[in-house]
Amino acid sequence: MTFSAAEHEAMRRALSLAATPGVPRGPNPRVGCVLLAPDGSEVAEGFHRGAGSGHAEVDALAAAGEDARGATAVVTLEPCNHTGRTGPCSQALIDAGVRRVVFAQTDHNPVAAGGADRLRVAGVDVAGGLLADEARDLNRAWTFAVEHDRPFVTWKLATTLDGRSAAVDGTSRWISSRAARLDTHRLRGECDAVLVGTGTVAVDDPELTVRDEVDDPVAHQPLRVVMGERDLPDQRRVLNDRAETLHLRTRDPLEVLTTLFARDCQHVFLEGGPTLAAAFWQAGLVDEVVAYVAPMLLGSGASAVGELGIGTIADAAHLHVADVHVLQGHDGEDTNVRLTMTVGRR
């Protein structure tokens, strides 16, 4: 495919629009669109603002009006071919008289796919693949979920330098620093569901909400999910009204992910204890690990992860370190290191 310099520049702008802060998480991907006049100048731009709102193409077309006729639409995702809360973007582009469509990422969602073919049949010039990797990175969890029919799983853990998640007496507050806890809330807010086991609820009584710097809950909350067969103790904070809570009475990680995928969850934040983490790992259902490492030693106590069935160093699980970040408090003492790692076995 051949793309003009103006189309490259427009796609970078469209990616920036798609990543606009404040767009609520949900079942839809983040998408941006820029309309170009025949001379390469920008006519209008738009982006998707969340489920139920106009898609990026429709947003840009509304801003352009009659100037969309004869334009090139540069969009980060193949225009959809689906009628849901809104009509198909492919047909909206055809109706507006757009002459060319350039998109980055192909839409593999079987519900929405086929927009490029619909455009071509209508006589629109279509070219795909421009900055496709950047578009995939922007919607990595959504892309993974669509391609694997299950949510992307990020396992978060907090550990001492010697791999302990709690002391011998069971105490674990606070292994992670305040800076690390604030960072955890940020990551929670990027996910569709936060998942723990019934044991964590019984022992630690977490609220599992996303909270700001002064510990107030933010407006948009992920689904709180507890898995396990036993009843939840009364008056647990996870049962309060600050967010929706789902109790799945199963110990099967794949069953949980299948249920959550059916509820339009594309990204699960796994915050359970060592037993739950080991169950997901052994099932091959961990895609990313975020570890907050505290500069402290306990010597003994609960391990950060349970039995993995590894008996020799040759069978050790290897991860790829994608990012290392030092999280430091204002006093310089409240410090953790955040390691973000991808699982290399896929």
226 dihedral zone (left: phi>0; alpha: psi -120 to 50; beta): beta
Task: Say what the pLDDT of residue 331 is.
Answer: 66
- Every domain of the chain and the residues it spans: 5-138, 146-343
- 288 is an active site residue: no
Residue 336 is predicted with a pLDDT of: 93
Instruction: Please choose, from the candidates 275, 232, 236, the residue with its C-alpha nearest in 3D space to the C-alpha of residue 253.
Output: 275
The amino acid at 50: G
- Tell me what pLDDT residue 346 has: 40
CATH topology of domain 146-343: Dihydrofolate Reductase, subunit A (3.40.430)
H-run or E-run covering 270: strand 267-270
Cβ contacts of residue 148 below 8 Å, gap of 6+?
none
Look at residue 288 in the predicted model and tell me its pLDDT.
97
Residue 171 is predicted with a pLDDT of 80
* Catalytic residue selected from 45, 57, 78, 271: 57
Strand arrangement of the beta sheet that strand 223-227 belongs to: 245-248, 223-227, 193-197, 267-270, 152-160, 288-294, 335-343, 319-328
Instruction: Kindly state which CATH superfamily the domain 5-138 is placed in.
Output: Cytidine Deaminase, domain 2 (3.40.140.10)
Question: So what's the pLDDT on residue 139?
Answer: 94
Residues of the chain with pLDDT under 50: 345-346
